[in-house]
């Protein structure tokens, strides 16, 4: 039990919620063709292979896995969900998924509501992925973060290997273990997210956008790659699987860039500057300006440029949302619109992201939901 306790990291603001999820019984456990977005990152590409090219290999691998499964008609997902291998105690497994739903509802209410439109199978699988991501993030961001060492992350990765091989360590892992046995989810994005957490332990500066891009892929682009195999691509979609995964990746990158732009002051107080050093220098800025925290014209101009780039990633993602299964589109649109509006809020704060938190008010949040729903109904193909 002590081992489990060590692993379960309490969430922000509520130390008991994730602890209550501990099981009662000891069920121990090539190059891509460049588009507008890539043109930006390739401008600072490293001489060998840019981060974007490396990340694209993961996209191709995940897309291949999905295509392979698409080809195997007999492996109809909904039927496979009735498989009995691996788990004999259905009540325990259902309870595990229910707990994942509870965590999701507590930490990401809007997203949780959106998942209720999905089929029960897909919905609970997305919850299981959400919970694993949340727990992974909490390792380095939560209240126990100071105790986290690279060795602890190695153990978390070993645990990931085990759950992918059908040996879950606790009941939340059991839910994910069941999910990855049913959907064509590759382990690589999960491993890469852990790699992102390792990076956060050892690195607090990013020399250029190429370095930052890789970090954003690790901690957020991976989420897109993990989620789409479960959310599913619309059967009527004419887009290539790769282009949909590319859009999913773009949404993760856009979200993380937005997160970084919103939290500049907060991160600086923790000694972290995620903004690319070469781009700061190009605008006549340095770490000192960030620690001083004064909104100057140089800062405004720099921020305008950063916001423009984040919006380009959102644009890239938007083209792909309509290719998802119709029932999965609404939560994605809702989260995209909400996160995108944080960029507007930074502008409304006159680019003061040092001491003023950019947030989207309740009214705007609520207003976004029908907009998201309307967009979800439109399944136009904008990708090839
Ligand atoms: C519909 C939807 C949003 C599905 C994703 C569900 C899911 C598995 C989410 C996991 C999120 C999570 C806990 C990630 C851990 C790392 C992390 C915290 C990343 C940051 C998220 C924002 O959270 P927050 O504001 O709470 O950040 P702080 O911890 O407070 O700093 C991120 C910025 C990134 C999360 C990334 C996504 C939500 C990407 C979603 C992309 C898709 C679902 C693909 C959609 C498909 C197409 C084709 C566009
Ligand atoms: Mn976090």
Q: Which atom of ligand 1 is nearest to the CA of 129?
A: 8
pLDDT tens for the 384 residues of the chain, in order = 233 323 333 333 333 333 333 222 333 333 333 343 443 343 334 456 788 888 988 888 888 888 777 655 434 444 444 444 455 578 889 999 999 999 999 999 888 988 988 899 999 999 999 999 999 999 998 888 888 999 999 999 999 999 999 999 999 999 999 999 999 999 999 999 999 999 999 999 999 999 999 999 999 999 999 999 999 999 999 999 999 999 999 999 999 999 999 999 999 999 999 999 999 999 999 999 999 999 999 999 999 999 999 999 999 999 999 999 998 999 999 999 999 999 999 999 999 999 999 999 999 988 988 999 899 988 655 565
For helices 209-216 and 51-71, the axis angle rounded to 10 degrees is 30
Question: In this structure, are residues 77 and 118 in contact, taking their beta carbons and an 8 Å threshold?
Answer: no
Whole-angstrom distance, CA of residue 381 vs CA of residue 384:
8
| C-beta of 245 in contact with ligand 1 (< 6 A) | no
| C-beta of 331 in contact with ligand 1 (< 6 A) | yes
Question: In this structure, are residues 24 and 172 in contact, taking their beta carbons and an 8 Å threshold?
Answer: no
Rg over CA atoms, the chain: 21
Whole-angstrom distance, CA of residue 358 vs CA of residue 362:
13
Burial 332-343 (b: 16+ CB within 10 A, else e): bbbbbbbbbbbb
* Ligand minimally distant from the alpha carbon of residue 228: 1
Helix (H), strand (E) at residue 261: helix 241-262
| C-beta of 172 in contact with ligand 1 (< 6 A) | no
What are the tokens at 382?
A: 């904008």
Q: Which atom of ligand 1 is nearest to the CA of 196?
A: 16
Between the CA of residue 268 and those of 31, 185, 260, 264, 287, what are the distances in Å?
Answer: 35, 36, 11, 6, 9
Q: What is the reported pTM?
A: 0.85
User: What pLDDT was estimated at residue 33?
Assistant: 35
Task: Measure CA of the first residue to CA of the last residue in the chain; give whole Å.
Answer: 51
User: What pLDDT was estimated at residue 143?
Assistant: 87
User: What pLDDT was estimated at residue 23?
Assistant: 29
User: What pLDDT was estimated at residue 380?
Assistant: 54
Rounded to the nearest angstrom, the distance between the alpha carbon of 134 and the centre of ligand 2 is 8
User: What pLDDT was estimated at residue 384?
Assistant: 52
Question: In this structure, are residues 177 and 85 in contact, taking their beta carbons and an 8 Å threshold?
Answer: no
- Count of CB atoms within 10 A of residue 238's CB? 9
Whole-angstrom distance, CA of residue 308 vs CA of residue 268:
22
Mutate to test the pocket of ligand 1, among 200, 223, 336, 368 (most ligand atoms within 8 A of CB): 223
| C-beta of 137 in contact with ligand 1 (< 6 A) | yes
User: What pLDDT was estimated at residue 19?
Assistant: 30
Whole-angstrom distance, CA of residue 7 vs CA of residue 372:
36
| C-beta of 129 in contact with ligand 1 (< 6 A) | yes
Between the CA of residue 349 and those of 3, 297, 313, 354, what are the distances in Å?
Answer: 45, 14, 22, 10
| C-beta of 253 in contact with ligand 1 (< 6 A) | no
* Closest residue to atom 25 of ligand 1, CA basis: 259
- Side-chain half-sphere exposure of 204, counting CA atoms within 13 A: 10
- Count of CB atoms within 10 A of residue 310's CB? 23
| C-beta of 131 in contact with ligand 1 (< 6 A) | no
pLDDT in tens, 38-84: 433 433 344 567 888 889 888 888 888 887 776 554 344 444 444 44
Q: Which atom of ligand 1 is nearest to the CA of 263?
A: 31
| C-beta of 111 in contact with ligand 1 (< 6 A) | yes
DSSP states of 20-69 as a string? GGS-SS-----PPPP-HHHHHHHTT--SS--HHHHHHHHHHHHHHHHHHH
The dihedral formed by the CA atoms of 77, 83, 85 and 88, expressed in degrees to the nearest 10: 130
* Ligand minimally distant from the alpha carbon of residue 13: 1
- Which of 4, 54, 48 has the alpha carbon at shortest distance from 27? 4
């Amino acid at each position: 039990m002590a081992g489990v306790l060590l692993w379960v990291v309490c969430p922000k603001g509520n130390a008991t919620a994730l602890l209550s999820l501990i099981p009662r019984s000891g069920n121990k456990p090539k190059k891509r063709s460049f588009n507008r977005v890539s043109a930006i990152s390739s401008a600072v590409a490293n001489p060998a292979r840019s981060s974007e090219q490396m990340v694209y290999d993961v996209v191709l691998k995940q897309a291949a896995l999905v295509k392979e499964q698409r080809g195997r008609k007999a492996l109809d997902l909904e039927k496979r969900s009735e498989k009995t291998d691996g788990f004999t105690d259905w009540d325990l497994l259902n309870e595990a998924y229910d707990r994942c739903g509870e965590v999701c509802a507590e930490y990401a209410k809007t997203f949780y509501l959106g998942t209720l439109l999905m089929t029960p199978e897909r919905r609970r699988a997305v919850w299981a992925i959400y919970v694993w991501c949340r727990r992974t993030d909490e390792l380095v961001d939560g209240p126990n973060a100071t105790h986290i060492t690279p060795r602890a992350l190695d153990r978390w990765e070993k645990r990931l290997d085990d759950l992918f091989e059908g040996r879950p360590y606790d009941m939340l892992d059991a839910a994910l273990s069941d999910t990855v046995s049913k959907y064509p989810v590759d382990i690589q994005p999960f491993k890469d997210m852990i790699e992102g957490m390792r990076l956060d332990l050892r690195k607090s500066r990013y020399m250029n956008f190429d370095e930052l891009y890789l970090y954003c892929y690790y901690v957020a682009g991976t989420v897109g790659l993990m989620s789409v195999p479960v959310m599913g691509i619309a059967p009527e979609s004419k887009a290539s699987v790769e282009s949909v995964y590319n859009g999913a990746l773009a949404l993760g990158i856009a979200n993380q860039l937005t997160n970084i732009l919103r939290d500049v002051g907060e991160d600086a107080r923790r000694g972290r500057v995620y903004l690319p050093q070469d781009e700061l220098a190009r605008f006549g800025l340095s770490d000192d300006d960030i620690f001083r925290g004064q909104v100057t014209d140089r800062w405004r101009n720099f921020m305008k440029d950063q916001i423009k780039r984040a919006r380009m990633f959102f644009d890239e993602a938007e083209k792909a949302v309509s290719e998802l299964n119709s029932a999965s589109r609404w939560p994605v649109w809702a989260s995209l619109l909400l996160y995108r509006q944080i960029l507007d809020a930074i502008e409304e704060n006159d680019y003061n992201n040092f001491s003023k938190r950019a947030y989207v008010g309740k009214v705007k949040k609520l207003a976004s939901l029908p907009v998201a729903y309307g967009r979800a109904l439109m399944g136009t193909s904008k990708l090839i």
